[in-house]
Structure 1
Amino acid sequence: MCTALNYTNGHHYIGRNLDWDFDFPNDVVVTPRNYPFQWRNGKTCTSHNALIGMAIIQNDYPLYFEAANDKGLGMVGTAFAGFAKYFPKAEGKDNVATFELIPYVLTQASTLQEARALFDNMNIWDIPFSEQQPTSPMHWIVGSKEGSFVVESTKDGLKVYDNNWGVLTNAPTFDWMSYNMANYVNLTRHEPTIQFAPDMKGIDLFSRGLGSSGLPGGVDSVSRFVRVAFTNLNSVCDPDPQKNVAQFFHILSNVQQVRGEAEIKPGVFEITQYACCIDTDTGIFYYSTYYNQSLTAVDMNKEDLEAKTLVSYPVLKEFQFHAQN
């Protein structure tokens, strides 16, 4: 389970909470412009946009969970169990495997419109990275300053949706999630007007924030979608880049999972393994982990982006704090 967020306030930011019941051996990975991508459809991409994101490197290949390129475009994949369906290789289509979809899009597209055009003739190919790593049921959000869209491959084929919420969680489908938002149209960040009955008296607005009463508080995918969408669309922050990084993590913290809330099997819990935010204007990747709440940053522009080899930084997961005395 995961929550992805596309956020713009001066700069553009994209990132996510990654929620899972075990820890991944992941790194922050920079893919320079001349690293050769060998797509499974037989084509090769040797000169392309540079990328930064969280990934597992297998056989010198970056398996990205999310990433952004040096042109201001980002992409995040989240779990889509029970609904994702991929298809055999199709003649006349652009066949792309799930594990290579994020780099496939971000290496080639520089704008949201260019990214969307890549899906016009695409087939999400049901082919695993290896025998030991089968395909994972996923859907994706692609975002920039211009907005975002969602891509889902289901039994009905490939669907691309405009995303007015700037949010993606998990199942069910994105169109259902959007339809469900009608249940929450009365939520407001303002002090509510009493509408219980005509000329109603005797109701005491005993607390601040009553306009948000009814905002779902569960860690399930539907509750997280509604809660982070409400928080995102009502976010108010000065257009200072560092303040907006903090704001981004505050929005995600509203849907983070704490150990003990979601037991997957006896003694095994799903938690927010890490949260991340990519400032696509600066190329800086920020992250925190479950036990290391301090923000750590990796700047892609401090690397040689004309190189041919991957650059990786191990994720700092141990508890850290700043002592003032």
Structure 2
Amino acid sequence: MCTAITLKSKDQHHFLARNYDFVKGAELRVALAPRRFSYLNKLTNKSIPSKYAVLGMSVSSDGYFIFADGVNEKGLTCAILELPSQNIWADQLIEEKENILPYDVTFWILANFTTVKELKEGLKNLNIVAPLDDQGALATQVHWLVSDATGDSIVIEKTRTSFRAYYNKVGVLTNSPTYDWHLTNLNRYLNVSDKQSNDVKWGNELLKPYSQGFGGLGLPGDYSSSSRFVKASFLRNHINLDVNYEGGILECFRILNSVAMLEGIVQTRSNESFITLYTSCICSNQQIYYYSTYTNPQIYAIDLKKEVLDGNTLKFYSYPDQLIIHHQN
């Protein structure tokens, strides 16, 4: 589960923002991987050095971590989202290609590329591998939203039939089905509008809207991936974007709050509750990572440019999971 959007403010700042929806238990911390940091490619047992410093949210499990989203020092941003029951990964390495585990692709993208255009060329040499004896890799069913400092944005999907990079036409990504299915599904909501409905006459009865907001009748409100895609697309493409940098940040959080999951509302068959563990908003142009957590809605900010980027070890930031209230009297 997850919802991600891209947005541009009137002063030409580009944002990638996302909700991270999952069950409790994951160890989450924002991490900085400097330029000389090397990560272990478990497929080859070789350490691979980073070209660019990366800042983003890390998810740790059994001593291994992945980046759920992030930005590099050149302004390339990326987020990984679930795509259940859609992926077919390679099970064999190809010597002349870049062989990467599916959960390492986010970091591979951010550590090695500067723009979407450059990445699209790099994807031609990518082999995403899930060995038959690696249950974690086999269970990783995902796709990626990538955007750069010019606003260029793509959705990357590897399915049973294709390996594609879609131009991100509506600035939204959720989960299954595939991205092209969601675009087709939007056609069902042609009637939804930000404008108030007109009066109409049925027989001798004059029908009038009895409150504001009738134009939005039919907009879905449940938490399924298709409904979140529709609602986020409508909001993202109808809000007033005549806002500056700070306004762009606020609109990202407001849109994502409208599709955020509250504890107890989305229950799995094993009685676990999906919640929006955190919401992030990344500015490509400033390389600043903004985020809030489920238990602390205050917005925190980490500026990549203020860090020393020439190190070789990871730096982690404390995760703000305690509620902070600003008393005014």
Aligned counterpart, 2:13: 11
- Alpha-carbon spacing, 1:153–1:277, altered in 2? closer, same or farther (3 Å): same
Task: Answer yes or no: is the 8 Å Cα contact 2:91–2:132 preserved in 1.
Answer: no
Amino acid at match of 2:216: S
TM superposition score normalised by structure 1: 0.91
Task: Answer yes or no: is the 8 Å Cα contact 1:26–1:314 preserved in 2.
Answer: no
DSSP-derived class of the 1:28 partner: strand
> Where does structure 1 lack aligned partners over 5 or more consecutive residues?
none
- Map 1:131-170 to 2 at 5 A: 135-144=139-148, 145-170=150-175
Which of the numbers 46, 51, 54 marks the counterpart of 1:51? 54
Rounded to whole Å, the distance in 2 between the matches of 1:128 and 1:112 is 31
Aligned counterpart, 1:202: 206
Aligned counterpart, 1:65: 68
Which of the numbers 175, 180, 183 marks the counterpart of 1:178? 183
- Alpha-carbon spacing, 1:104–1:267, altered in 2? closer, same or farther (3 Å): closer
Percent of matched pairs sharing the same residue: 29
RMSD between aligned alpha carbons?
Answer: 2.5
Amino acid at match of 2:98: D
Task: Answer yes or no: is the 8 Å Cα contact 2:72–2:110 preserved in 1.
Answer: yes
Amino acid at match of 1:177: H
Query: How many angstroms does 1:75 deviate by?
Result: 0.8
1:51-82, CA deviations, whole angstroms, 9 ceiling, x for partnerless residues? 11100356886410111112121111111111
Task: Answer yes or no: is the 8 Å Cα contact 1:99–1:135 preserved in 2.
Answer: no
DSSP-derived class of the 2:123 partner: coil
Amino acid at match of 2:161: D
Aligned counterpart, 1:273: 277
Amino acid at match of 2:78: M
- Map 1:113-262 to 2 at 5 A: 113-127=117-131, 135-144=139-148, 145-193=150-198, 202-262=206-266
Query: How many angstroms does 1:43 deviate by?
Result: 6.4
Amino acid at match of 2:56: G
DSSP-derived class of the 1:149 partner: strand
Rounded to whole Å, the distance in 1 between the matches of 2:133 and 2:65 is 11
1:7-62, CA deviations, whole angstroms, 9 ceiling, x for partnerless residues? 12221111211111223111101111111234345665435111111003568864
Amino acid at match of 1:2: C
Rounded to whole Å, the distance in 2 between the matches of 1:227 and 1:169 is 11
Task: Answer yes or no: is the 8 Å Cα contact 2:103–2:137 preserved in 1.
Answer: no
Task: Answer yes or no: is the 8 Å Cα contact 1:75–1:106 preserved in 2.
Answer: yes
Rounded to whole Å, the distance in 2 between the matches of 1:161 and 1:139 is 11
Aligned counterpart, 1:27: 29
- Alpha-carbon spacing, 1:200–1:294, altered in 2? closer, same or farther (3 Å): farther
Amino acid at match of 1:147: D
Query: How many angstroms does 1:186 deviate by?
Result: 2.0
Rounded to whole Å, the distance in 1 between the matches of 2:61 and 2:22 is 20
- Alpha-carbon spacing, 1:81–1:200, altered in 2? closer, same or farther (3 Å): farther
> Where does structure 2 lack aligned partners over 5 or more consecutive residues?
none
Tell me the matched-pair count. 324
